[in-house]
Copies of this chain bind each other. A is one copy, B any other.
Amino acid sequence: MQDLIKETEDQPKWRRKPERRPDDILDGALREFRARGFAAARIEDIAKHAGLSKGTVYLYFSSKEEMLKELVKRTVVPLAENMKNMATILSSEAENKSAEQILRAMLNVLSSRLDDEKVQSMPLLIISEAGNFPELVNFYRDEVINMALGALEMVINKGIRTGEFRPVKTYHAIRSLIGTFIMQVIWNGVFARKGDPKISMGKLMDDHLDIYLNGIKVSKEPK
């Protein structure tokens, strides 16, 4: 349905919408890469997911490897930009907002993005194929992770500076904040069973922040 041009009244027929091809293929690739790993994923299966034959895939991607790289880039670059924009807004408007408010806003964005299965698959894919694609790892670390973690670090430091937070080690604090998401992503992608209820990333984050920030804050009258 999505890969057909919508029939308009005066157009006699539908036809293929070739512009969607690369995306269709990458969808299939993601499925197979996650299901079997990059090395064991077969181009023919990827093609089948997109309703194409083996050879056609090569009209759009020159190799399996290129598909992996494109996949990561397409999914991850928007997220990176998203986060970067937030970081910019935070530093300019931050005067009015507490560090807690900023952290909650940032992690809120992250958690809502992670409710998308495709985004959720990316960390697992990277983890799985790290050994064979060091450049991909570097790209991911430098363009995505460090950017995001750097933004968090900034806010935590700000909180410490203003006396809102206790003087914790930011390196550790970041891992405490992010780890919960990673854990859940892995759980969903690796261990969760078919029937298991989906856990909302947002709720998980809320609870986590409630507790963690409660623990980190310089308390006046903790509840």
Contact = CB atoms under 8 A, between A and B. Distances in A.
A178 interface: yes
A37 to B, nearest CB: 6
A119 interface: no
A140 B187 CA distance: 12
List the number of copies, as a whole number.
4
Given A128-B127, A191-B137, A219 B216 contact: no
Contact of A169 (B129, B207, B215): B207
Contacts of A40: 39, 132
Contact of A172 (B131, B191, B204): B204
Interface residues of A, number: 55
A215 B168 CA distance: 14
A183 interface: yes
Interface in A125-175: 126-132, 137, 140-141, 145, 166, 168-169, 171-173, 175
